[in-house]
Structure 1
Amino acid sequence: MVRRGWRWAVVALGLAVLVALPAVFEALPADDASVAATDLRDRVLASDDVAFSGYAVSTGGLTLPVSDALTGVADLLSDQTSLRAWYRGAEDWRVDVVTTTGETGTHRDAAGTWTWDYADQRASRGDAPPLALPAAPDLLPSALGRRLLSEATDAELTRIDPARVAGVDAVGLRYTPAAEAASVSAVDIWADPTTGLPLRVVVRSADTSIPALDTRFLDLDLATPDAATTAFDPPPDADVTTDRDLTDVDLGRQERADLPATLAGLDRRTVEGVPDQIGAYGSGITVLAVSALPGRAAGSLRSQLAATPGAVVDDLGVRIAAGPLSLMVAGTSTRDGGSGTYLLAGTVTLDALATAAQQIQETDR
Structure 2
Amino acid sequence: MSVVRRDTYRRWAVVGVAIAVLCSLPSVVSALPVHTAAIAPDALRARMLASADHPYQGYVETDGRLNLPELPQLGTISSLLSGSTKIRTWFAAPDEWRTDVLTDTGEQDTYGTQVGTLSWNFETGQITQILGDPVVRLPRADDLTPPHLALRLLHTAAAGDKLVPLPARDVAGISAPGVEIRPVSPDTTITRVDLWADPATGVPVAVEVYGGGSSAPVITSRFLDFSSARPADSAAQFAVPDGVAVATANSSDINSLLDTRARFPLPAQLAGQAAKPVLDGYGADVSGYGSGFATFAVLFLGDRIGDSALSAATQAGAAPVTFPNGTGRLIRTPLLSVLLVRSDRFDRIFLLVGLTGPELLTKAATDLLTDVDTQFDQCRALLRGRPPGQLPPGQIPAACRPVPVPAPGGNP
TM-score interval, normalised by the smaller of the two chains: 0.7 to 0.9
Specify whether residues 27 and 324 from structure 1 end up closer, same or farther in structure 2 by C-alpha distance, changes over 3 A only: closer
Q: Which residue number corresponds to residue 124 of structure 1?
A: 128
2:108 to 95, 98, 104: 104
Specify whether residues 171 and 274 from structure 1 end up closer, same or farther in structure 2 by C-alpha distance, changes over 3 A only: farther
Contact 2:277 2:286 in 1 (8 A): no
Matches within 5 A, 1:201-240: 201-240=207-246
Q: Which residue number corresponds to residue 271 of structure 2?
A: 264
Q: Which runs of 5+ in 2 are unaligned?
A: 1-26, 374-412
% identity of equivalent residues: 31
Contact 2:298 2:352 in 1 (8 A): yes
- What is the alpha-carbon distance in structure 2 between the residues aligned to residue 323 and residue 210 of structure 1? 11
- What is the alpha-carbon distance in structure 2 between the residues aligned to residue 272 and residue 291 of structure 1? 10
Secondary structure of the equivalent of 1:298?
Answer: helix
Residue 141 (structure 1) aligned with residue 146 (structure 2): yes
Secondary structure of the equivalent of 1:181?
Answer: coil
Q: Which residue number corresponds to residue 340 of structure 2?
A: 329
Secondary structure of the equivalent of 2:89?
Answer: strand
Displacement of 1:239 in angstroms is 4.1
Contact 2:146 2:223 in 1 (8 A): yes
Secondary structure of the equivalent of 2:52?
Answer: helix
| TM-align CA RMSD | 2.2
Residue 254 (structure 1) aligned with residue 258 (structure 2): no
Q: Which residue number corresponds to residue 166 of structure 2?
A: 160
Residue 354 (structure 1) aligned with residue 362 (structure 2): yes
Displacement of 1:183 in angstroms is 1.1
Matches within 5 A, 1:47-196: 47-127=51-131, 128-156=133-161, 157-196=163-202
Specify whether residues 341 and 272 from structure 1 end up closer, same or farther in structure 2 by C-alpha distance, changes over 3 A only: closer
Q: Which residue number corresponds to residue 287 of structure 2?
A: 279
- What is the alpha-carbon distance in structure 2 between the residues aligned to residue 167 and residue 179 of structure 1? 35
Contact 1:65 1:304 in 2 (8 A): no
Secondary structure of the equivalent of 1:253?
Answer: coil
- What is the alpha-carbon distance in structure 2 between the residues aligned to residue 241 and residue 283 of structure 1? 38
- What is the alpha-carbon distance in structure 1 between the residues aligned to residue 338 and residue 114 of structure 2? 35
Contact 1:50 1:88 in 2 (8 A): yes
Contact 1:326 1:345 in 2 (8 A): yes
Contact 2:279 2:286 in 1 (8 A): no
Displacement of 1:28 in angstroms is 5.0
Q: Which residue number corresponds to residue 206 of structure 2?
A: 200
- What is the alpha-carbon distance in structure 1 between the residues aligned to residue 370 and residue 314 of structure 2? 24
Contact 1:131 1:273 in 2 (8 A): no
Residue type matched to 2:147 in 1? S
Displacement of 1:178 in angstroms is 2.4
Displacement of 1:111 in angstroms is 0.8
- What is the alpha-carbon distance in structure 1 between the residues aligned to residue 253 and residue 183 of structure 2? 28
Displacement of 1:35 in angstroms is 2.4
1:43 to 35, 39, 47: 47
Residue 299 (structure 1) aligned with residue 307 (structure 2): yes
- What is the alpha-carbon distance in structure 1 between the residues aligned to residue 149 and residue 49 of structure 2? 11
Residue type matched to 1:120 in 2? T
1:293-331 CA deviation, whole Å, 9 max, x = no partner?
Answer: 11112222112222335x321214001112201111111
1:243-267 CA deviation, whole Å, 9 max, x = no partner?
Answer: 5514534425333423242x33433
Specify whether residues 33 and 257 from structure 1 end up closer, same or farther in structure 2 by C-alpha distance, changes over 3 A only: farther
- What is the alpha-carbon distance in structure 2 between the residues aligned to residue 265 and residue 220 of structure 1? 44
- What is the alpha-carbon distance in structure 1 between the residues aligned to residue 101 and residue 81 of structure 2? 14
Larger radius of gyration: 2
Displacement of 1:94 in angstroms is 0.8
